[in-house]
Amino acid sequence: MTASSTHFKVDNGDMHFLATASEKTILIDCNIRSDADDPDGDVPDVAQQLRSRLKRDPAGYLYVDAFLLTHPDQDHCRGLWKHFHLGPVSEWSAKADKIVIREMWSSPIVFRRASKKQHTLCDDANAWATEARRRVKRFRDFGCLSDGDRILILGEDINGKTDGLGAILVRTDSVFQSICGSYQIDFRARLIAPIPPQDDEQEEEELSKNDSSVVVNIELGTFTLSGASHYLFGGDAEVGIWERLWQRNKDAPENLQYDLLAAPHHCSWHSLSWDSWSDWKELAEVSPDARKALGQALSGAYVISSSKPIKDDDVDPPCIRAKREYKAILSDVNGTFECLGDLKGDEPLEFEVTGDGLKIKTRTTALAAPSIIGGLAGAAAGSSSAYGAQPFKHG
Amino acid sequence: MTGVTKAIRRALDVVSGHPLVREIRTLDEHGSKVAVDFVVPMPSRWIGAGQSPAGVRPVETVTFTFDDFFPLAVPLIELRQDFNRSHPHVQPSRTEDPPRPCYFEGDPQDLLRYRGMEGIMVQVADWLEKAAAAALMDFSQGWEPIRRDSINDWVEVDPNFVRGFVNRDGGSAFAVSQHLGLELRSGGHAYAISVEAQRQSLGPDFFRKVIENAAGVGLSVIVWGGKTPSGDPVVSDRYLPETVRTMAELTDRAAHYGLQAQLRAAFGLLQTRFGKSAYNLPLILTLLLVVRRPADVIGQGSPLEIVPYVMEVRSASDLSGSSEVPVRPAAVRDAISRKLLASVSGSRPLEEAQWTLIGCGSVGAKLAIHLAREGRAPTTLVDRSLMAPHNYARHGLVPIPQFPVPDWKADAVARAIQGLGQSATPLHEDLAVALASSPPAKQIWPKATQLLVDATGSPTVTDALCLPQVEAKRPRVVETSLLGRGSVSYMAIEGPKANPSVQDLQAESYRVMADDDTLRELALASASDVVVVGQGCSTRTAQMTDARLSTFVPGMARYLSAALERGLPVQEGELAIGRVDDDLMNQSWQRFTVPAFRRLRSSTGRRASISHSVVELIDSAIADRPHVETGGILIGRFNEATDSFHMVDIVEPPPDSRFSAAEFTLGVEGIRDRLKGYNDRTRGTLYPVGTWHNHLANTPASLTDLATAAALALGQRFPVVLMIRTPGSIRGVIADSDRSGATPAVTIESLEETLP
């Protein structure tokens, strides 16, 4: 099967879905708003769009192989409790028919005490944290895990909280190539952030949830990793993180290269600059290091803004100035900037992975409009009717 | 062009509404010629590079030109002038014209009819996307031959004939061709050419003998390549657009294909034969370059692509390297062949299919043609008669003016089959005589013949096929005929080892049809018509139209085709009986499985066969009266020609019959009326042929049995069967009376079952 990526229209939020050539599925964040599953609502039914792309286990449940939560903000995990099965698989109910997460990929921030500054979690984030702790405890108790109980902790945490996690801990700057415990020949991921804890605990305390975001560079191949395409996901990481990431990776900039970048924090100016867009306007300066960290675009790369439509105004995110900066980055490589909020219709944006980068899938929503308005048009127009208006004849 | 019609305006709305169309610009004052910018989906790194490896750009401008005939005619769709033409789906064109995409396999006008302008847009967008990826063409799918759909000149040739010349050394060969000139609407002309599948030597008097004496006759040259210095065949693995228009370009192209020397040599010989002559009427010369590709050409099962051109040559100088004579690329079509027909029919080609058609009359010829059109023609044809004028009212063939009417039917059908690229051996034997002779004529079923189809509708043929010495040796027979003036059709399919035989099936079918009120009247009651076909001549036939006669043949043909592919029923025989309403618009078939008959044989070879259902009825009657003997009357047919009985039914014993452990005595009460009633109901087709009774032990016929048999034999003009069912066997006697002498004599032979 062709590896692909799907980027759902969730306004200012993130929800990306990857399918590898060997049919492993990875969900990166979710933002399923309460009226997203209301067919009459205006919000795209992303829950259904996701479900239609999933397979069922022989036991009957829909599943994703991995769910990567970049950081526990509402707009990255909204709908988790409602749509995903949390708890042991044995408690899954056909009636509720929620999606099983075979393996959680979680930032270590979920282990922090809620009393710490800024680390108050929404209900969905708490649900994630509870489930993550259940899985980690199970690992500590049994030393191994099976589908539905699996978890990977992406990055070490402060105060030795992640000590002893061994097999389920992925250290920053390392590469992992397993999904649900099995080695993949067409998938590889490099964990770029969270940046490991520093000695200065005060600094760590200052870090917001956004800045504890997981940053990963995921490679998907067509069969093996030869000619694989790179996806850079940075959650909501802001400028300070990108500056530090450039310093850490400037000798190996390929760690940050991408065919597709999900513009951090819904195309926020704060990922590129210390200056407030609404205060400084055009005087705001781009951080050179952050731009370099986010500027490793491969030839023909895409930057997508998972946000509302980007308008020429003071709003941030999404920010028009950030869009301009990304377009400038892309102009050097003939790349394309796409804002999900600007796309017509409800369908997500999809790409196929080829041996030469990503190929956009034609979106069919726009086609539906001009063809048939009521059955009569098809029958009467003849030459401008839809397929099937006239059965094939043979004489 | 008078301006933009409403239809064009609507079409342009569809064009601009396509999701991959970025922009549309008007190029002429009317607005009927537009440039359309298509976004071509391609991998991001190609977009980054500005084009795909095949040279397709991320945004391609395509020109659409609508004329006054739209929407009856499709718009002309052209690519940019410098679009890479070395793509298999680019229409051949002159280099100075913009290349055109071959965006639909079929007639684009039909695409417009069925799917509208949306359909065209979907195809063009899809074409561009595929063209972008063309460099990645997967040879496991095969080599895409150069598209030649829009070319006016076309050459029909048997590809196997052309490819058959190819050897390691390279070379050229000639064949005669025939052509028809075509006036083109656009001006100029073209030729439809058919190449004979026979090599022609180009002797000194060839022009005088062949070309000058026949209008519409031309010559074709087949040119193939040899090997490289390393000994491998020359392979041409690069697409070149079909742009050849001149001798110089042809020479270049031949060099590219590695055929230059061979082409030159062939032209050299032709120049010698022209000598100093120059002709007013040109020689239509067809060039067939055979180019070896790195993979099988799609749909051809061979890596050899045939690249044809047409030239009009008047003198030797027209073939020189500096000749100005135009060279026109031609389209190539496979000559009729078994494979081509099978492919169009959606059938699997059956090279090994072998069957004999007996009877090349109306039904037979139609069957033969149906099967031949599917690539499954009969391989042997047997018919002793000539085509008579009245035959053409319903025959599968039509009279050909060149052939005077007197013609063997078998020969006429064989010629039609040959025309369909297959071959059949015609035999003019009187089948009955041929089969009755000893040894029977083996040429009727050559080795490996799968089945014999008897489409004669002749009871004589049925009987001849069932002569003991024939039945034991021949392949299984399928009989196809029509009954009731074409209102009922009949197919009898023999079981393995001709059990049940066509005679058994015939008797069984009468029982089946007599049980059905409609069939009984339609099929069993009808007689033939005598039709006057000339002064003092008449023929016995059933009057019906060709349409009626043809109604059932397709079903029969389908059955035979499936039988050739998958074999006949493995264990039993079958009857298929069809009927059709008078308006021919409601046809239905019933199919009956007929298990093998139990067969008995006397010491002199007389035969009796008993249907499976009769044995079941007998066993059930015996079970109803345990510990005593029981019996009844056997119904069936006796055949004088094959000296055989075929029993398919029983009549219960009359009420005054007596059943005891020692013997069964058949009563007489009401028996005459019942038997007459049975005979009347079956319209005389079935009648009593003897009696049966059972023995409680495995004992042979008793003296009482023999006396009864003799008495019965004396009472009728054909032999009688007395059948005995014992717990472990079926046996009996045949009694035959002879009243020719002074005292009537009766001979009795015992019958024993022959086990398979």
Most A CBs within 10 Å, among B38, B44, B129, to test the A interface = B44
DSSP B90: B
Which has the closest alpha carbon to A346: A6, A91, A8, A60?
A8
Q: Which two three-digit tokens encode residue B501?
A: 């035989």
Which of A348-362, B519-533, B719-733 is the least confident region?
B519-533
Residue B350 has pLDDT above 80, yes or no: yes
Q: Which two three-digit tokens encode residue A201?
A: 């605990």
Most B CBs within 10 Å, among A258, A330, A334, A364, to test the B interface = A334
Residue B408 has pLDDT above 60, yes or no: yes
Which chain A residue shows the shortest CA-CA distance from B48? A300
Task: Judge whether A378 is closer than 8 Å to chain B, CB to CB.
Answer: no
- pLDDT tens figures, A221-241: 999 999 999 999 999 999 999
Longest dimension (CA), chain A: 85
Q: Which two three-digit tokens encode residue A172?
A: 């920053």
DSSP B188: S
CB < 8 Å to A362, chain B: 19-20, 41, 125
CA B117 from chain centre, in angstroms, equals 38
Residues B192, B195, B201, CA angle at the centre, nearest 5°? Answer: 140
Asked if B17's CB is within 8 angstroms of A370's CB, the reply is: yes
Please state, for a pLDDT cut of 70, what percent of chain A lies above it: 84
CB < 8 Å to B112, chain A: 383
Report the amino acid identity of residue B281. Answer: L
Task: Judge whether A366 is closer than 8 Å to chain B, CB to CB.
Answer: yes
Give the phi and the psi of residue B173 in degrees, each rounded to 5: -150, 160
Residue B440 has pLDDT above 70, yes or no: no
Nearest C-alpha of chain A: how many angstroms from B118? Answer: 7
pLDDT of residue B739: 79
Q: What is the mean pLDDT of residues B56-69?
A: 94
Asked if A298's CB is within 8 angstroms of B13's CB, the reply is: no
Please state, for a pLDDT cut of 90, what percent of chain B lies above it: 57
The C-alpha R_g of chain A, in whole angstroms, comes to 22
Q: Which two three-digit tokens encode residue B722?
A: 């007395």
Which chain B residue shows the shortest CA-CA distance from A363? B19
Q: What gap in Å lies between CA B51 and CA B82, rounded to an integer?
A: 13
- Which one has a higher pLDDT value, B247 or B229? B247
Residue B123 has pLDDT above 70, yes or no: yes
Q: Which two three-digit tokens encode residue B515?
A: 């049980």
Domains and CATH numbers, chain B: 6-133 (3.10.110.10), 154-335 (no CATH), 342-594 (3.40.50.720), 598-753 (3.40.140.10)
Asked if A385's CB is within 8 angstroms of B48's CB, the reply is: no
Residue B274 has pLDDT above 60, yes or no: yes
In angstroms, the first-to-last Cα distance of chain A is 40
Instruction: Identify the burial level of B308 via C-beta atoms within 10 angstroms of its C-beta, where 0-12 means exposed, 13-18 middle and 19 or more buried.
Output: buried
3-state secondary structure of A141: helix
Neighbours of B616 (CB within 10 A): 11
- Put simply, the chain B residues between 54 and 83 with a CB less than 8 A from any chain A CB are 58, 71
Asked if A384's CB is within 8 angstroms of B44's CB, the reply is: no
pLDDT of residue A184: 95
- pLDDT tens figures, B135-178: 555 667 788 787 776 688 989 999 989 999 999 899 999 999 99
CA B613 from chain centre, in angstroms, equals 36
Q: What gap in Å lies between CA B62 and CA B78, rounded to an integer?
A: 6
CB < 8 Å to B19, chain A: 362-367
Residue A367 has pLDDT above 60, yes or no: no
Which chain B residue shows the shortest CA-CA distance from A336? B44
Contact of B224 with B166, CB cutoff 8 Å: yes
CB < 8 Å to B58, chain A: 334
Asked if B10's CB is within 8 angstroms of A384's CB, the reply is: yes
Task: Judge whether B134 is closer than 8 Å to chain A, CB to CB.
Answer: no
Neighbours of B526 (CB within 10 A): 16
Residue B400 banded pLDDT, cuts 50, 70, 90: confident
Nearest C-alpha of chain A: how many angstroms from B41? Answer: 6
Q: What is the mean pLDDT of residues A127-152?
A: 92
- Strands B573-580, B488-493: pairing is antiparallel
Q: Return the residue matching tokens 């609508």.
A: B66
Task: Judge whether A372 is closer than 8 Å to chain B, CB to CB.
Answer: no
Beta bridge partners of B292: B304
Task: Judge whether B132 is closer than 8 Å to chain A, CB to CB.
Answer: no
Asked if B119's CB is within 8 angstroms of A363's CB, the reply is: no
Q: What gap in Å lies between CA B13 and CA A381, rounded to an integer?
A: 14
Q: What gap in Å lies between CA B35 and CA A352, rounded to an integer?
A: 29
Sequence-distant contacts of A178-185: CB under 8 A, at least 24 apart: A179/A20, A179/A24, A179/A26, A179/A65, A179/A66, A179/A103, A180/A24, A180/A65, A180/A66, A180/A102, A180/A103, A180/A147, A180/A150, A181/A103, A181/A145, A181/A150, A184/A20, A184/A22, A184/A24, A185/A22, A185/A221, A185/A223, A185/A224, A185/A225
Q: What gap in Å lies between CA B114 and CA B744, rounded to an integer?
A: 83
Range with the largest mean pLDDT of A27-31, B138-142, B662-666: A27-31
pLDDT of residue B625: 94
Task: Judge whether A90 is closer than 8 Å to chain B, CB to CB.
Answer: no
CA B52 from chain centre, in angstroms, equals 47
Q: Where are the beta strands (DSSP E) in B595-699?
A: 598-602, 607-610, 631-639, 644-651, 658-659, 664-665, 687-694
CB < 8 Å to B108, chain A: none
DSSP B58: S
Asked if A354's CB is within 8 angstroms of B125's CB, the reply is: no
Residue A57 banded pLDDT, cuts 50, 70, 90: very high
Task: Judge whether A130 is closer than 8 Å to chain B, CB to CB.
Answer: no
Asked if B117's CB is within 8 angstroms of A384's CB, the reply is: yes
Task: Judge whether B282 is closer than 8 Å to chain A, CB to CB.
Answer: no
CB < 8 Å to B71, chain A: 383-384
Which of A387-391, B423-427, B721-725 is the least confident region?
A387-391
- Put simply, the chain A residues between 191 and 210 with a CB less than 8 A from any chain B CB are none
Beta bridge partners of B278: B315
Report CA-CA distances (Å) from B605 to A87, B143, B439, B752: 86, 64, 17, 11
Give the H/E segment covering residue B463. helix B459-465
Asked if A383's CB is within 8 angstroms of B113's CB, the reply is: yes
Which chain A residue shows the shortest CA-CA distance from B73? A383
Task: Judge whether A392 is closer than 8 Å to chain B, CB to CB.
Answer: yes
Which chain A residue shows the shortest CA-CA distance from B39? A362
- Put simply, the chain B residues between 26 and 45 with a CB less than 8 A from any chain A CB are 41-45
Asked if B7's CB is within 8 angstroms of A383's CB, the reply is: yes
The model's pTM is 0.70
pLDDT of residue A37: 62
